[in-house]
Amino acid sequence: MRRLNLIAGLLFLANSLFAQTSPSNWTSQYWPARWILHPTAPSRQYGIFHFRKTIDLPQKPTRFVVHVSADNRYRLFVNGKAVAIGPARSDTQNWNYETIDLAPYLQAGKNTLAAQVWYMGEGAPFSQMSYQLGFLLQGDSDTEKIANTDASWRILHNPAYSPIRNDIPKLRTYIVVGDGDRVDAATYPWGWEQPNFDDKAWVSAKPLGFPTKPRGLGTDGNWGLVPRTIPMMEEKSVRLATVRRSENGKMENAFLQGKAPVTVPANTKAVFLLDQGYLTNAYPELTVSKGKGATVTLAYAEALIDAKGLKGNRNAIEGRTMRGFEDQFIADGNSKRTFRPLWFRTYRYLQLTVDTKEESLVLDDLLGQFTGYPFEEKARFAASDTTLKSLWNVGWRTARLCAGENYYDCPYYEQLQYTGDTRIQSMISLYVTGDDRLMRKAITDYEHSRFNDGLTQSRYPSADFQVIPTFSLFWVCMVHDYWMNRQDDAFVKSMLPGILGVLNWHEQRIAKTGLNGPLEWWNFVDWSKWQNAKDEAAGGVPAGARKGGSSILSLQQAYTYFRAGDLLSHYGLNERAEHYRELGRKLNKAVFAQCWDASRGLIADTPILPPGQPGKNIFSQHANILAVLTDAVPVAQQAALLQKVMTEKNIGSDTLTQATFYFKYYLFEAMKKTGLGDQFVAQLKPWRDMLAMGLTTFAENPEPTRSDCHAWSASPLYEFLSITCGIRPAEPGFKSVRIEPYLGDLTTVEGQMPHPLGDIAVQFQKTPTGSLTGTITLPANLTGTLRWKGKALPLKAGKQTVSL
């Protein structure tokens, strides 16, 4: 059976086959292998290419390690079996290559290495940075050099592919994940990856004229090669669950189970609406037979929309239509042709529109290959309120769909790694999985994004330059988070120069008033309905950003300066540390002096001007949350202040701007700080409302929302473990633990999270008199303290019974 690409059952894509051989030999010397491309096709325009080489081995090897990369991307096959997809996304001066042991797929005698390489040109995703078309394979030693890319490789420019524009005008929203795929089966070189394929008509590949080099060598830019630092992505089969609607055709659920092919008669346009039942990221694989000239359009959506363009309940389909990202496959009349797009698609609903010509088309099968970063759910959480388990499960699905070769803000619309999102995603990853590799890569990506202002870019890797200075501050905080949770001094120290650049940029913009002065770029805070913030067309920005005087932005500076002070003093930069701590204190003092409204008991978003001048009496949860987190208001007043902003939506005649899902992460952090963690579970009503609306992942914003899957809204996972179970590092490197649970109305809670030394597990009951009993298990060599209602109990390694 010949297919466009082999199903995941034939994929290796298991991390065990991502070679553990050290690539250090190839990080400091020129590579003998050459970047290769088509000799005549344009190298910076859209094109899909196939590369092949046959090698002869005297015996089956026990080790055959190669280093592989491409621009934009590749899929590598050995003897017809797919073995790798890459490279991990990055920028051209930190261009990843994969190190792979091909030995399990090789045999004595002839072996065929083949790669599909695509270059999307103008239709590339914003997250795809690029130099030009190219493919590279370097053998690790003399044994493997027979496979090196050079003119002995053969290449074909595949005419079957053309792009489908899925852009902002078409989908009527901000979407930058690139074009879809249109594939004409009649011109596709079926079986091109198989050993017995005849490639005599293919041309010899063209080696590029410059030498292949790792990062830091050479006189020219092009690609600075670095080894991949994260594992290969997971793939596993998933199937759609239900046929929700059929027009001009009959399809049963048995088709979705792979048990009942569907025939669409000649000269018919049939539409089938299919429901996965939950949102997923997957490579759909559609297999068809016959139907020469028939066109099958695959459309993907998170939800259907009504006549007003609104989603409403995500389970509803009546009176609703599909507006989604599309691919297209044109049948050639042969049997068992399988379409699989070059990149994964995000969908709950998948609609097939089949338009046949003179011959009926048989839909043989349709399944998906789920893909994502191979996070393993090692944490667990349970409580007397069993409905919290649904919030955990949906939050975990949200976090998983927003993690691939980098973190995604959302998988459907952007797939961009934004710092504000990533800080929250990283904490979820650390607490739920214990895997810090994607967090390290993200921190490093932002370090690579720094530009001449001294700031990091807001999202990276990204071919479209964007700057959010508030996100540069959160990058500093991300480094602090990592430092608190991991013992990795060399890595953290390498970020200090960049941190100082970010801090200096903000320091230079403190006005004589002591608050922030006018700020360039996009000073995003939250997608809230900001009052009187009319000077920022991009939205999400409070008053006082463009012209100066924002208490929110001033307090975020202070929040970051204090964390930077911790880092700098730890690494011996005591004078700089104290300088930034003093700046933080001065910012706090200025905010309180100019923005505190004693009559309302709140920090205003901007200074309250003297009588007779235009008033700026604007108030938000954000300013007051940050005032708590920075100690800009006296400690004795913080709990009452936070309680006020959590319970009051209007302050007299003024509206209190509410934090959306994103900024509630900082509300939850303030609740921990002020001892109000018992109210955390009650704060989860917006998340319960999303479940009631049929969402299977957590959304970007309250309704109406663009994205149904936004990882910044998955923060309750982290908080279940850090607030409800109360597990937090007590000192840098998580060298000891502080456990301070907040059960609220819960009577029991239990949880477990991975620590570098082993699992931390807690099990608590709250007695009718308010006491706490239970057990705590700490890994060997970890000690800590249990706190409850002002009392403390020392903890030792191992399992122990506790009572306070």
Strand pairing partners for 164?
180
74 and 207 together in one domain:
yes
Measured CA to CA, the distance from residue 161 to residue 330 in angstroms comes to 11
Range scoring the smallest mean pLDDT among 321-335, 455-469, 598-612: 598-612
Question: Contact, 415 vs 346, CB < 8 A?
Answer: no
Per-residue confidence band for 24, with pLDDT thresholds at 50, 70 and 90:
low
Measured CA to CA, the distance from residue 768 to residue 19 in angstroms comes to 56
Range scoring the smallest mean pLDDT among 12-16, 180-184, 540-544: 12-16
In terms of C-beta density within 10 A (0-12 exposed, 13-18 middle, 19 or more buried), how is residue 182 classed?
middle
Coil, helix or strand at residue 354:
strand
Measured CA to CA, the distance from residue 333 to residue 390 in angstroms comes to 46
> Beta strand pairing status for 95-101 and 225-227?
parallel
Is 483 part of any domain? no
Average pLDDT, whole number, for the chain?
94
Question: Contact, 736 vs 782, CB < 8 A?
Answer: yes
662 and 516 together in one domain:
yes
Closest by Cα among 703, 700, 716 to 402 = 700
The predicted pLDDT at position 360 comes to: 98
In terms of C-beta density within 10 A (0-12 exposed, 13-18 middle, 19 or more buried), how is residue 172 classed?
exposed
pLDDT tens per residue, range 120-163: 999 999 999 999 999 999 999 999 999 999 999 999 999 999 99
Measured CA to CA, the distance from residue 328 to residue 295 in angstroms comes to 7
CA atoms within 13 Å, Cβ hemisphere of 661: 28
Q: What's the average model confidence in pLDDT over 751-774?
A: 96
The predicted pLDDT at position 491 comes to: 98
Question: Contact, 102 vs 17, CB < 8 A?
Answer: no
Is 576 part of any domain? yes
Measured CA to CA, the distance from residue 713 to residue 733 in angstroms comes to 26
Per-residue confidence band for 221, with pLDDT thresholds at 50, 70 and 90:
confident
> What tokens were used for 450?
């720094």
Range scoring the smallest mean pLDDT among 35-39, 215-219, 224-228, 619-623: 215-219
Is 780 part of any domain? no
Per-residue confidence band for 533, with pLDDT thresholds at 50, 70 and 90:
confident
134 and 224 together in one domain:
yes
Question: Contact, 71 vs 36, CB < 8 A?
Answer: no
Question: Contact, 469 vs 455, CB < 8 A?
Answer: yes
Q: Whole-prediction pTM value?
A: 0.95
Coil, helix or strand at residue 772:
strand
Cis peptide before 461 (omega within 30 of 0): yes
Strand pairing partners for 339?
286
pLDDT tens per residue, range 361-400: 999 999 999 999 999 999 999 999 999 999 999 999 999 9
251 and 110 together in one domain:
no
137 and 246 together in one domain:
no
213 and 83 together in one domain:
yes
Owner of token pair 């108030």? 619
Is 694 part of any domain? no
Closest by Cα among 59, 66, 102 to 82 = 102
DSSP state of 722: I
In the chain, how many domains are there? 3
The predicted pLDDT at position 630 comes to: 98
Does residue 8 surpass a pLDDT of 90?
no
Sign of the torsion formed by the C-alpha atoms of 562, 567, 571 and 573: negative
Is 604 part of any domain? yes
218 and 258 together in one domain:
no
Range scoring the smallest mean pLDDT among 213-217, 395-399, 447-451: 213-217
Measured CA to CA, the distance from residue 338 to residue 495 in angstroms comes to 47
Measured CA to CA, the distance from residue 39 to residue 218 in angstroms comes to 24
Question: Contact, 521 vs 504, CB < 8 A?
Answer: no
13 and 124 together in one domain:
yes
Question: Contact, 590 vs 515, CB < 8 A?
Answer: yes
pLDDT tens per residue, range 42-83: 999 999 999 999 999 999 999 999 999 999 999 999 999 999
Q: What's the average model confidence in pLDDT over 476-495?
A: 98
Cα–chain center distance at 116: 25
Cis peptide before 72 (omega within 30 of 0): yes
Q: List C-alpha distances in Å: 184 to 92, 94, 181, 199.
A: 32, 35, 10, 20
DSSP state of 659: P
Helix or strand holding residue 218 (H, E):
none
The b/e string for 466-491 (b: 16+ C-beta within 10 A; e otherwise) is: bbbbbbbbbbbbbbbbbbbbbeeeeb
For the beta sheet containing 748-755, the strands, ordered from the edge strand earlier in sequence to the opposite edge, are: 380-383, 748-755, 758-766, 772-778, 798-803
> What tokens were used for 555?
């307090």
> What tokens were used for 285?
């694989």
Cα–chain center distance at 131: 24
Report residue 441: phi and psi, to 5°.
Answer: -60, -40
pLDDT tens per residue, range 429-447: 999 999 999 999 999 999 9
Range scoring the smallest mean pLDDT among 184-188, 456-460, 646-650, 745-749: 646-650
Neighbours of 682 (CB within 10 A): 10
222 and 240 together in one domain:
no
291 and 349 together in one domain:
yes
Q: List C-alpha distances in Å: 13 to 21, 82, 86.
A: 17, 8, 11
Question: Contact, 277 vs 398, CB < 8 A?
Answer: no
Measured CA to CA, the distance from residue 2 to residue 554 in angstroms comes to 62
- Of 372, 403, 421, which marks where a domain is finished? 372
- Of 679, 706, 741, which marks where a domain is finished? 679
pLDDT tens per residue, range 254-285: 999 999 999 999 999 999 999 999 999 999 99
> What tokens were used for 628?
């708590």
Measured CA to CA, the distance from residue 158 to residue 185 in angstroms comes to 11
Owner of token pair 């477990």? 752
The enclosing domain of 514 has a CATH number of 1.50.10.10
pLDDT tens per residue, range 602-653: 999 999 865 545 556 789 999 999 999 999 999 999 999 999 999 988 776 6
The predicted pLDDT at position 538 comes to: 76
Percent of the chain at pLDDT > 90 equals 92
305 and 358 together in one domain:
yes
Closest by Cα among 639, 658, 716 to 684 = 716
Q: What's the average model confidence in pLDDT over 668-692?
A: 97
227 and 240 together in one domain:
no
Measured CA to CA, the distance from residue 553 to residue 506 in angstroms comes to 10
Strand pairing partners for 329?
183, 296
Question: Contact, 661 vs 712, CB < 8 A?
Answer: yes
DSSP state of 704: S
Is 361 part of any domain? yes
Q: Which amino acid is at 793?
A: L
Structural domain boundaries, residue 321: 235-372
Coil, helix or strand at residue 603:
strand
In terms of C-beta density within 10 A (0-12 exposed, 13-18 middle, 19 or more buried), how is residue 41 classed?
middle
pLDDT tens per residue, range 587-601: 999 999 999 999 899
Helices and strands per DSSP (H, E), number in the chain: 15, 37
Measured CA to CA, the distance from residue 664 to residue 51 in angstroms comes to 50
- Name the CA radius of gyration of the chain, rounded: 28
Measured CA to CA, the distance from residue 451 to residue 467 in angstroms comes to 10
- Of 372, 396, 425, which marks where a domain is finished? 372
> What tokens were used for 718?
């982290």
**Distance spanning both ends of the chain, measured CA to CA:** 67
The enclosing domain of 295 has a CATH number of 2.60.120.260
Strand pairing partners for 328?
182, 297
Range scoring the smallest mean pLDDT among 13-17, 159-163, 706-710, 728-732: 13-17
Task: Categorise residue 694: left if φ over 0, alpha if ψ from -120 to 50, beta otherwise.
Answer: left
> What tokens were used for 104?
């399990």
Owner of token pair 């409905």? 387
Q: What's the average model confidence in pLDDT over 476-501?
A: 98
Does residue 14 surpass a pLDDT of 50?
no
Closest by Cα among 448, 512, 502, 511 to 473 = 502
DSSP state of 723: I
Q: DSSP assignment of 250-267, as one string?
A: ---HHHHTTS--EEEPTT
Q: Which amino acid is at 235?
A: E
Q: Which amino acid is at 171?
A: L
Is 639 part of any domain? yes
Is 89 part of any domain? yes
Closest by Cα among 158, 191, 149 to 55 = 149
> What tokens were used for 204?
């010899």
Closest by Cα among 418, 427, 516, 417 to 471 = 418
